[in-house]
């Protein structure tokens, strides 16, 4: 399983990446939607975890661009706010789940493990 973490909070993505790597899950991270999209264009990911609110290319636009490049990638929206309209929009754009910060690594792993192999 390979995961891409995209969030403008560097400490968050670095910490999550380290925790995933400790569990044998390969991960990359980016601190902007633009950098994350560049990684999506270079690598294949099973999961992309993307923050909703980021400067520049925001989460909703990032999801749309990611799904255009890798339609099979599973996307989890990460948000500090749970505005129903944004969450519904993200799900309509192809996100399959959302998590509200702070991220519980066990919940994230559970969502990804349940989704692997699902088509």
In tens, the pLDDT along 28-65 reads: 999 999 999 999 999 999 999 999 989 999 988 999 99
Residue 68 has pLDDT above 60, yes or no: yes
Within a domain: 119: no
Which residue segment(s) compose the domain that 56 sits in? Answer: 2-113
Within a domain: 62: yes
Q: DSSP 3-state assignment of 92?
A: helix
- Specify the pLDDT at position 118: 45
Within a domain: 118: no
Its pTM stands at 0.90
Count other Cβ atoms within 10 Å, centred on residue 14.
14
Total count of domains within the chain: 1
Q: What's the rounded Cα separation, in Å, for the pair 82 and 11?
A: 21
Residue 91 has pLDDT above 60, yes or no: yes
Q: In the structure, what pLDDT confidence band is assigned to residue 116 with cuts at 50, 70 and 90?
A: low
Q: What's the rounded Cα separation, in Å, for the pair 37 and 56?
A: 12
Write the CB contacts of 108 (distance below 8 Å, at least 6 apart in sequence). 16, 49, 76, 99
Nearest of 116, 73, 117, 69 to residue 94 by alpha carbon? 73
Within a domain: 11: yes
């Amino acid at each position: 399983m390979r995961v891409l973490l995209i969030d403008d909070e560097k400490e968050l993505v670095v910490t999550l990446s380290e925790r995933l790597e400790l569990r044998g899950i390969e991960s990359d991270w980016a601190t902007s939607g633009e950098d994350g999209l560049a990684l999506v264009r270079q690598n294949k990911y099973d999961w992309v975890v993307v923050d909703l609110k980021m400067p520049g290319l925001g989460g909703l636009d990032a999801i749309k661009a990611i799904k255009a490049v890798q339609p099979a990638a599973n996307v989890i929206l990460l948000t500090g706010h749970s505005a129903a309209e944004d969450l519904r929009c993200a799900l309509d754009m192809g996100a399959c789940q959302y998590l509200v910060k702070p991220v519980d690594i066990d919940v994230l792993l559970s969502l990804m493990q349940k989704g692997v192999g699902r088509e």
